[in-house]
Amino acid sequence: MPELTVGELAALCGAELEGDADRVVTGPATLSAAGPRDISFLSHPRYVRQLERTAAGAVLVAREVARPREDLVLLRCEDPGSAFSSIVSAFAAPLPGPEPGVHPSAVVDSTVELGEGAAVGALAVVGPGSRIGARAVIHAGALVGAGVVIGEETEIHAGVVLYAKVSVGSRCIVHSGTVIGGDGYGFEPGTAGWVKVPQCGTVVVEDDVEIGSGCTIDRGRFGPTRLGRGTKLDNQVHLGHNVEIGERNLIVAQVAVAGSARTGEGVVIGGQTGVAGHVEIGSGARVAGQSGVYGDLEGGRDYQGSPAQPQKDELRRKAGSRKVPALLARVRELEKRLSDLEERLSR
């Protein structure tokens, strides 16, 4: 890692420096693990005791945080988390990848259009009629089918499979093991068993999308399955056929969205949530993890539970359910008292 002064890092993230600007740090670390040559950050006031004890050479904090020790160098800013991300990037060395051009072991059809500075790694396959944008990177062992379009500066990691006619925009990242454009899950009952429904559509991934490892995004039955600009998928997310994900969505691991469901802009879906087919989640909605979405959700609200409902209602329901054992015991006591009273009155 490079060596940078605290003053250089303060200038990098626009922070106000309090302490020795010439102190040298060599990398990022957590407050508890940091040493004198590390830089860290205070993410939440609940960790302020760690700030008092940390051995870090410098710490990013919010502007209102008190300086607990004179020897502690602070970088004050509005958003320490975001500022720390820019500092981590300054220390992070880029991961190795293929050099521009086509590796000798790669199989690239003669009809492929390869943009300036694009790279195709070892044992990768690029099918006929595909277009690879300038400075795009296809890592080792990736499979790009026929007629695929990949935009400029997009990175397709090792082992990714892009089925024929899939489109991936510019500045996207697709992580290892993801499959885009496989058949949607469609079957109809027939006299001899289940009959496969043809899946003739495609997948369109717009610009600035990041897709985690092990995701599966099915092609549309007809028309596209679509991921909106700026959307970020965690690992192991499944999107069914003709799903339409809006711009700037954040979808956490192990979410499954059934066919033809739609989300608006800025939707957040927590991990292990299931979304039923043909429902619509409005812009700005936030769905807590392990929820079940079976009907349309209005935008701009927080939801939780299965079936998902406004979070305040779900929290009230859970609070009420915790009282059930005591209420049952009370009912049994009252029943006994009533039985005793009826017995005395009948004598």
Q: Which residues are catalytic?
A: 241
Tokens matching residue 208: 């600035």
Task: Extract the runs of DSSP E, i.e. beta strands, from 42-135.
Answer: 58-62, 73-77, 101-102, 107-108, 113-114, 119-120, 125-126, 131-132
Work out the burial of residue 89: count CB atoms within 10 Å of its CB; fewer than 13 is exposed, 13-18 middle, 19 or more buried.
exposed
Are the CB atoms for 97 and 79 separated by under 8 Å? Answer: no
User: Of the candidates 35, 36, 50, 44, which has an alpha carbon nearest to the alpha carbon of residue 84?
Assistant: 44
**What phi-psi label fits residue 345: left (phi over 0), alpha (psi between -120 and 50 degrees) or beta?**
alpha
- Those residues whose C-beta lies under 8 Å from the C-beta of residue 24, and which sit 6 or more positions away, are 3, 4, 5, 6, 37, 57
Please state, in angstroms and rounded to a whole number, the distance separating the CA atoms of residues 147 and 140: 20
Amino acid at 292: G
The values of phi and psi at residue 120, to 5°, are: -125, 120
Q: Where are the alpha helices (DSSP H) in the chain?
A: 6-13, 48-53, 80-91, 311-322, 324-346
Are the CB atoms for 57 and 96 separated by under 8 Å? Answer: no
Per DSSP, what are the bridge partners of residue 274? Answer: 256, 292
User: Of the candidates 176, 166, 274, which has an alpha carbon nearest to the alpha carbon of residue 219?
Assistant: 166
